[in-house]
Amino acid sequence: MSSAFKPRHGKLIEPDSHVQGFRKARDARRTELAEDYVELISDLIADSGEARQTDIARRLGVAQPTVAKMLKRLAEEGLIVKRPYRGISMTEAGERLAAESRRRHRLVEACLRKLGVSAETARLDAEGIEHHVSGETLAAFERFLDDG
């Protein structure tokens, strides 16, 4: 293993840096579900013209009450509109969030593929990484992909 990748035993990073890293991870976890939901809702609408609670639950592998709770949150945040006995529609803010999440996912997945990761693994890994990667890192990924 290269010395650049060896752990630095006994050397903790500065507390402010530690806080910053944990804060970034907590913030990403808070928005991760919302991003996944709006991206899926947008994709379902684009594919079949509608997004139904049952379809969302099935595709995410969660119970319908879980979906109902998240849809309520997304509506309160102004990302979707949910009307009784009708499908879910996206707001402009929701569409922007879905598009940004989709762009990050595709960029991370393409970068992993260029590194030699299999298509399936890259798709699965990108699903988690996309929510935690910074704008600076995304820009570096874009340069990396453009250079090759």
Establish if 7 belongs to a structural domain: no
Rounded-to-integer distance, Cα 89 and Cα 103, Å: 20
- 8 A C-beta contact, residue 108 and residue 133: yes
What is the span of the domain harbouring residue 45?
Answer: 17-93
Structural domain ending residue among the three candidates 72, 93, 114: 93
Q: Which positions ≥6 away from 31 have C-beta within 8 Å?
A: 131
- 8 A C-beta contact, residue 101 and residue 39: yes
Establish if 10 belongs to a structural domain: no
Answer whether 0.95 is exceeded by the pTM: no
Establish if 3 belongs to a structural domain: no
How high is the pLDDT of residue 22?
A: 62
Enumerate the β-bridge partners of residue 88: 82
| pLDDT tens across the length of the chain (148 residues) | 555 555 556 677 777 766 676 666 666 566 888 999 999 999 999 999 999 999 999 999 999 999 999 999 999 999 999 988 778 999 999 999 999 999 999 999 999 999 999 999 999 999 888 888 889 999 999 999 998 6
How high is the pLDDT of residue 94?
A: 96
138 and 110 in a common domain: yes
- 8 A C-beta contact, residue 39 and residue 54: no
How high is the pLDDT of residue 131?
A: 85
135 and 67 in a common domain: no
